[in-house]
Chains A and B, each alone.
Chain A
Amino acid sequence: MKGITGHKGYLHGLIGLLLFIPLFFSACEDQRIQTVTRTEYEPVYMTEQEFQNAVQLEEPRQLEKPGKIYLYNGYLFVNEINKGVHIIDNRDPSSPSKIGFVNIPANKDIAVKGDRLYADSHSDLVVFDISDMQNAELIVRKEGVFEFSASKHPGYPYQPADPEKGIVVDWKKVEVEETCQGDCYNGHRGIFFDSQTGALSEAGSPSSGGIGGSMARFAITGDYLYAVDDQSLFAFDISSSDPTKVSKNDIGWSIETIFPYEQNLFIGSASAMYIYDISSPGFPEQLSIFPHFTACDPVVAEGDFAYVTLRNSERCPQGVNRLEVIDIQDLVSPQKVNTYQMLNPHGLGIDNGDLFVGEGDKGLRILDATDPANIKQIRHISDIKAMDVIPFDHVLMVTGKDGIVQYDYSDINNLELLSTIPVVKE
């Protein structure tokens, strides 16, 4: 017992420690805590009343997240994704001036003809009288005409929308943290497939309306407004102030863009280019399907050739990055002419053999397509972000994350910067 006496302090300490052992025994099961932190898109809701009352003309505002653009009669209409439309007087491209902003919740697409601005708003088609640009006025709302793209999430993952909470008018990125015992993540919290990036852009083409970018989902030809959503092609008779839905064609899946050219519509989807005949304008008839790799793909056409860009992206993760040229002399049997490697092609536009390809964050590519089978690069401007382009009357409008840049391309070998409408980051 000598040792115990000699080291009483140690002994007491250790025995005291041992007294705590039973406390540890009370929890002899491993504790496993899993914390899943994810960034996902969360729907932003409005009540029906808020949604309808929100539509109004407001003071001009800065571009924040520009989407589709549309050129009509010297005015530039720029979609602010899910917010509305900027109206910009662009009659002098070297000095564009903002006129106003039309607040349209859940708006992504626009088209203009005459004194009317057509826009989507969730599943509705809204029509504005813009005879007085300073006082654009809502004249018609056609409710529930679009079926699939209204609540489209801009990316993955996203939280499923709950219709009981109201109308989805926008999406915001939120960080969600979930902690649970054990291996709790089961893959059903948030949806992890891919979706539309809700990015910028717009498309356009010659039509009796204005000109949109190549990534547009609205196009006007004659007295008809054509619109595509994820799966369908709609034709609206717009000869009167009250548009009438004339027909709906189920096309396929992941329909992305529409480009009217002469008596045809060229429709881009993630898996194919569709050609429709609109000689009977209210009832487009499918002429052919030109399949390609699954990729994001706007399309434009000029002469006997169509130009399709295929892009690998979050939305099209298995895609390729290239430009395809397709001979469309025989619209029923289009034939691939050549392919050209690109970096990350988005929208494109062509004017009399001058081909412009927006390479997203990789810049703008200017190509000589006078010989479509042997396209040559003239210049690659790498210091701008180019999502879509509209070349018209020697003025090239380029939309991108940083804003809208305009060039004079009268001399294709020497583009002259005319103006920049910048994006103002929040």
Chain B
Amino acid sequence: MDRNFLSQILFLCLIFAVISISSNAQSKYKLNIGLDILPDDDTVSERLKVTNNYQFSPQLSAGLGTGFTYYDDPLSLIPIFIDLRYKLLQNDLAPFVFLDTGYTISVLTDTDTRTDSHRGGWMLNPGLGVQFSPKNGPGWYLSIGYSTDHSQFEREEGSSRTIKNEVTYKRLMAGFGLFFRL
């Protein structure tokens, strides 16, 4: 599994988005598809995420999401998270704040690295952004924030040594995405 996999998922999501363009403008359900960029000093990681939100009020929505976070490490992560969004204004173009938090499932993406066990951990991604929500058709958003993920992998060497690696990713993030009313 590598970045090609990520690209394939993104492609499928875009197809889904196109299908969803014939959406119901009155629906309170929204499908968000986004891509976050998570740079560190040496590498840039990406997180594709898809959330299904319910519009509780004109400004507040919440939903469940999942996705795929590719890290340049033995493990990548599949997050399962709650997404909370609050528009600060009721205009079509409005700033918003958000919080994504949940748990990640680890996936071994570097098969050259031997691991005997691995697991993900809690994720937290608060941030703010600006979104454009036209009355009809898909909207879009841009966001920035802070993202932290946790993963752990372990291997035994012989019968006498165990090596456990714990990684806490602490990244600034920038994201963009589209959303569609279902």
Q: Which A residues are within 8 Å of any B CB, using their own CB?
A: 2-4, 6-7, 10-11, 14-15, 17-18, 20-21, 24-25, 27-40, 156-157, 183, 185, 192
Contact = CB atoms under 8 A, between A and B. Distances in A.
A310 to B, nearest CB: 22
A183 B162 CA distance: 14
Given A14-B99, A21-B126, A7 B166 contact: no
B167 interface: yes
Interface string B25-69: 000000000000000110000000000000001111000000000
Given A37-B164, A39-B159, 6 more contacts: A3-B90, A18-B128, A24-B126, A39-B161, A157-B161, A183-B165
Contact of B163 (A27, A30, A157, A185): A185
B160 A157 contact: yes
Contacts of A2: 90
Contact of B40 (A10, A17, A29): A29
B160 A32 contact: no
B86 interface: yes
Interface stretch (B5-13, B102-110, B169-177): B169-177
Contact of B57 (A6, A156, A183): A6
26 contacts: A7-B60, A10-B59, A10-B60, A11-B86, A14-B97, A18-B97, A21-B145, A24-B126, A24-B170, A29-B170, A30-B167, A30-B168, A32-B165, A32-B166, A34-B163, A34-B164, A35-B165, A35-B166, A36-B162, A36-B164, A37-B161, A38-B160, A39-B159, A39-B160, A39-B161, A183-B165
Interface of B: 40-41, 57-60, 84, 86-90, 97, 99, 126-128, 145-146, 148, 159-172
A18 B126 contact: yes
Contacts, number: 96
A24 B86 contact: no
Contact of B168 (A4, A18, A31, A34): A31
B160 A21 contact: no
Nearest to A2: B90
Contacts of A35: 163-166
A10 B162 CA distance: 47
A40 B160 contact: yes
**The 4 residue pairs across chains A and B that have the minimum distance between CB atoms:** A38-B161, A24-B146, A3-B59, A31-B168
Given A18-B128, A32-B165, A25 B87 contact: no
A25 B88 contact: no
Tell me what chain A mostly uses at the interface: helix, strand, loop, or mixed.
mixed
A30 B170 CA distance: 5
Nearest to A189: B161
B40 A30 contact: yes
Contacts of B166: 32-35
Q: Which of A4, A20, A40, A156 has the most CB of B within 10 A?
A: A4
B58 A3 contact: yes
Contact of B162 (A17, A37, A40): A37
Contacts of A38: 160-162
Contacts of B164: 34-37
Q: Which of A11, A14, A33, A39 has the most CB of B within 10 A?
A: A14
Given A11-B86, A37-B162, A28 B170 contact: yes
Contacts of B57: 3, 6-7
A111 B135 CA distance: 99
A17 B171 contact: no
Contacts of B163: 34-37, 185
A6 B58 CA distance: 10
Contacts of B59: 3-4, 7, 10
A216 B36 CA distance: 69
Contact of A28 (B97, B127, B160, B172): B172
Nearest to B99: A17
Nearest to B58: A3
Contacts of B90: 2-3
A17 B97 contact: yes
A11 B145 contact: no
B110 to A, nearest CB: 14
A17 B160 CA distance: 46
A33 B163 CA distance: 10
Contacts of A156: 160
Contacts of B128: 18
Contacts of A32: 165-168
Given A38-B161, A39-B160, A4 B169 contact: no
B157 to A, nearest CB: 8
B127 A21 contact: yes
A32 B14 CA distance: 35
Contacts of A18: 97, 126, 128
Contacts of B161: 36-39, 157, 192
B165 to A, nearest CB: 5
Contact of A10 (B58, B86, B170): B86
Contacts of B40: 28-30
A204 to B, nearest CB: 32
A33 B165 contact: yes
A3 B128 CA distance: 18
Given A28-B171, A40-B160, A156-B160, A11 B88 contact: yes
Nearest to A36: B163
Nearest to B86: A14
Contacts of A31: 167-168, 170
Contacts of A30: 40, 167-171
Contacts of A185: 163
Contact of A24 (B87, B148, B159, B167): B148
